[in-house]
Amino acid sequence: AQKITQTQPGMFVQEKEAVTLDCTYDTSDPSYGLFWYKQPSSGEMIFLIYQGSYDQQNATEGRYSLNFQKARKSANLVISASQLGDSAMYFCAMRGGGSYIPTFGRGTSLIVHP
């Protein structure tokens, strides 16, 4: 069975500062994928970034980077230079364990202060 844990129910950050959102996972499958999604209050889930278990480099997409530490089974999302529009719910998800369907974490609510 696979499991995703997001331990931070809420996070606050000052505009223009960096913030790290934590995600740990557990799976016995050596092949898996990790995803981060953003969900603003409007409701739409927005795909941000993906990391495969065999990828050698940490994934980056613009201001988003994934701090992938395989031995520690963590896949933290780093948002650099936070903007007010980054205020949203962030979900970490994992695909693996023989299933193509991602398992979602409980989410972290991020609020960016001006």
1 binds other proteins (CB under 8 A): no
If we measure between CA atoms, which residue out of 84, 95, 106 comes closest to residue 19? 84
91 binds other proteins (CB under 8 A): yes
18 binds other proteins (CB under 8 A): no
71 binds other proteins (CB under 8 A): no
21 binds other proteins (CB under 8 A): no
Of 46 and 81, which CB lies nearer to other proteins in the complex structure?
A: 46
Instruction: Report how far residue 66's alpha carbon sits from residue 25's, in angstroms, rounded to the nearest whole number.
Output: 14
30-to-4, 33, 52, 55, 66 alpha-carbon distances in Å: 15, 10, 10, 12, 19
Provide the token pair at 13. Answer: 């950050």
Pairing relationship of beta strands 108-113 and 10-14 according to DSSP bridges: parallel
Instruction: Report how far residue 77's alpha carbon sits from residue 23's, in angstroms, rounded to the nearest whole number.
Output: 8
Q: CB of 16: closest distance to other proteins in angstroms?
A: 26
Which residue type sits at 11? M
59 binds other proteins (CB under 8 A): no
Q: CB of 54: closest distance to other proteins in angstroms?
A: 13
Please give the size of the binding site for other proteins, defined by CB under 8 A.
Answer: 20
Contacts with other proteins by CB under 8 A lie at 33, 35, 37, 42-47, 50, 89, 91, 95, 100-102, 104-107
